[in-house]
Amino acid sequence: MGQIELRGIPAAPGITIGKVHLLDSEELVVKKKRIPQSQLKKEAVRFEDALNKTRREIVEIKDKISVEMGREHGEIFSAHLLVLEDKVLIEEVKARLKKEKVVVEYIFLDVLKKYINAFSKIDDEYLKDRISDINDVGKRILRNLIGATHKILSDVGGEKVVVVAYDLSPSDTASMYKKDVIGIATDIGGRTSHTAIMAKSLEIPAVVGLETITKRANNGDMIVVDGNHGVIIINPTKQTLLKYKSDQKRFRRFDEGLVYLKDLPCQTLDGRRVELVANIELPEEVPSVLFHGAEGIGLYRTEFFYMNRRDLPTEEEHFQGYKKVAQDMAPRHTIVRTLDLGGDKFLSELEVPREMNPFLGWRAIRFCLARPDIFKTQLKAILRASAFGKLKIMYPMISGLNELRQANVILEEVKKELRASKISFDEDIAVGAMIEVPSAALTSDILAKEVDFFSIGTNDLIQYSLAVDRVNEKIAYLYEPAHPAVLRLVKTIIDNGHKEGIWVGMCGEMAGDPNLTLILLGLGLDEFSTPSIMLPEIKHIVRSVKMADAKLIAQEALMLPTGREVEAYARKKLLELVSETREGV
What residues are labeled active site? 194, 507
Q: Which residues fall within 8 angstroms of residue 193, CB to CB, at 6 or more apart?
A: 11, 125, 128, 129, 208
Report strand pairing: 333-337 vs 390-395: parallel
* 8-state DSSP, 545: S
What is each CA distance from 142 to 81, 131, 166, 170, 450, in whole angstroms?
15, 16, 19, 18, 56
Question: Rounded CA gap, 413 and 225, in Å?
Answer: 53
Query: Distance between CA atoms of 430 and 463, rounded to whole angstroms?
Result: 28
Instruction: Return the sign of the alpha-carbon dihedral for residues 235, 238, 243, 245.
Output: positive
Angstrom distance (rounded) from CA 469 to CA 473: 9
**Could you tell me where the DSSP H helices lie in 450-511?**
458-466, 484-499
Q: CA 183, CA 203: separation in Å to the nearest integer?
A: 9
Q: Closest by alpha carbon to 534, among 303, 227, 138?
A: 227
Q: Which of 510, 509, 540 is nearest to 523 (CA)?
A: 510
3-class DSSP string for 271-326: CCECEEEEEECCHHHHHHHHHCCCCEEEEECCHHHCCCCCCCCCHHHHHHHHHHHH
Name every residue whose Cβ is closer than 8 Å to that of residue 330 and which is 6 or more positions away in sequence: 388, 389, 390
Give Cα separations from 318 to 187, 191, 283, 374, 381 (angstroms). Answer: 37, 28, 11, 11, 6
- 453 and 392 Cβ atoms separated by less than 8 Å: yes
| Residues forming a β-bridge with 34 | 102
